[in-house]
A and B are shown apart, each in its own frame.
Chain A
Amino acid sequence: MGRFSALSELRNYPSAIVGLGIIAFLVSLAVYTVIAIPYDDALDKWRGGEQWRLYPVNASPVWADRLWGGRAPETQVISSRDADIERESFEGGERLFIPLRVDYQAGDFPSEMTVFFDADGHEREPFARLVWRTPDGREMPLGGSRIASQDRRSISQDRALEQRLGLVPHIGLLATPDSEAGAARVQTGEYTLMLDVIVFQEDADFQAELVLFGRVHGLAGTDHQRRDLMVALMWGTPVALAFGLLAAVGTTITTLVIAATGVWFGGWVDATIQRLTEVNMILPLLPILVMVGTLYSTSIWLMLGVVVALGIFSAGIKMYRAMLLPLRQAPYIEAAQAYGAGNTRIILRYMIPRILPVLIPTFVTLIPTFVFLEASLAVLGLGDPVLPTWGKVLNDAQSESALYSQYYYWVLSPAFLLMLTGLGFAMLGFALDRIFNPRLRTL
Chain B
Amino acid sequence: MSVAGGMQRDIRRLGLFTGKRLLALFLTILVGVYLTILIANMGGRVDDLRMVQIQGQVSEMVRADPSFQDMPSEERNALIQRQVDLEVERLRLDQPFILRSFDYLYRAMLLDLGRAEQMHSDSGSRQVYDIIVERLPATLLLFGTANLLVFFFSVYIALSLSRRYGSAMDRSVIALAPSSAAPAWFYGIFLILLFAFVMPILPSGGMVQAPPPENPLLYALDVLRHMLLPVLAMFLSQIFISIYSWRTFFLIHSSEDYVEMARAKGLPDKLIERRYILRPTLSPIVTSFLLMLIGLWSGAIILEQVFSWPGLGTLLFQAIGHRDTPVIIGSVVIFAYLLALTVFLLDILYAILDPRIRIGGD
Contacts and interface: CB of A to CB of B under 8 A. Distances in A.
Given A291-B328, A411-B189, A440 B302 contact: no
Contacts of B294: 281
A372 B186 CA distance: 9
A363 B104 CA distance: 39
A85 interface: no
Contacts of A419: 182, 186
Contacts of B27: 275
B321 to A, nearest CB: 7
Contact of A284 (B190, B192, B298): B298
Contacts of A443: 165, 248, 251-252
A257 B312 CA distance: 35
Given A376-B302, A418-B186, A294 B321 contact: yes
A286 B340 CA distance: 17
B192 A296 contact: no
Contacts of A296: 42, 45
Interface stretch (B64-72, B106-114, B117-125, B171-179): B171-179
B36 interface: yes
Contact of B189 (A288, A315, A415): A415
B332 A284 contact: yes
B146 to A, nearest CB: 17
Interface in A108-130: none
A376 B237 CA distance: 15
B298 A379 contact: no
B36 A403 contact: no
B60 to A, nearest CB: 23
B299 to A, nearest CB: 7
A3 B159 CA distance: 33
A288 B28 contact: no
Contacts of A412: 193
B178 A439 contact: no
B343 interface: yes
Contacts of A368: 181-182
A403 B40 contact: no
A286 B299 contact: yes
Given A285-B298, A379-B185, A380-B305, A422 B40 contact: no
A19 B331 CA distance: 40
Interface in B24-62: 24, 27-29, 31-32, 35-36, 39-40, 42, 45-46, 49
Contacts of B178: 15, 19, 422-423, 426-427, 429-430
Interface string B221-250: 000000000000000000000000000100
How many residues of A sit at the interface, in one of the four size bands? 35 or more
Contacts of A439: 252
B298 A286 contact: yes
A403 B305 contact: no
B316 interface: yes
B289 to A, nearest CB: 15
B336 interface: yes
Most chain A beta carbons < 10 A, residue from B35, B178, B297: B178
A181 interface: no
Contact of B193 (A292, A408, A429): A408
B339 interface: yes
Q: Is the interface of A mostly helix, strand, loop or mixed?
A: helix
A372 B193 contact: no
Interface residues of B, number: 59
A291 B42 contact: yes
A393 to B, nearest CB: 12
A398 B193 CA distance: 11
B35 A379 contact: no
Contacts of B248: 440, 443
B317 interface: yes
A412 B339 CA distance: 35
Contacts of A411: 189, 193
A291 B28 contact: no
Interface in A375-416: 375-376, 379-380, 394, 398, 403-404, 406, 408, 411-412, 415
Interface in B183-201: 183, 185-186, 189-190, 192-193, 196-197
Contacts of A408: 193
Interface in A207-257: none
B271 interface: no
Question: Which one of B32, B182, B306, B335 has the highest number of Cβ atoms from chain A below 10 Å of its Cβ?
Answer: B182
Interface of A: 15, 19, 275, 278-279, 281-288, 290-292, 294-296, 315, 365, 368-369, 372, 375-376, 379-380, 394, 398, 403-404, 406, 408, 411-412, 415, 418-419, 422-423, 425-427, 429-430, 439-440, 442-443
Given A419-B182, A426-B180, 4 more contacts: A290-B317, A294-B321, A423-B179, A443-B248
The 4 closest A-B pairs by CB, nearest first: A426-B178, A422-B181, A282-B32, A426-B181
21 contacts: A278-B28, A282-B340, A285-B298, A286-B299, A287-B320, A291-B40, A294-B321, A295-B46, A295-B323, A296-B45, A368-B182, A369-B181, A372-B183, A380-B305, A412-B193, A415-B186, A426-B177, A430-B178, A440-B252, A443-B248, A443-B251
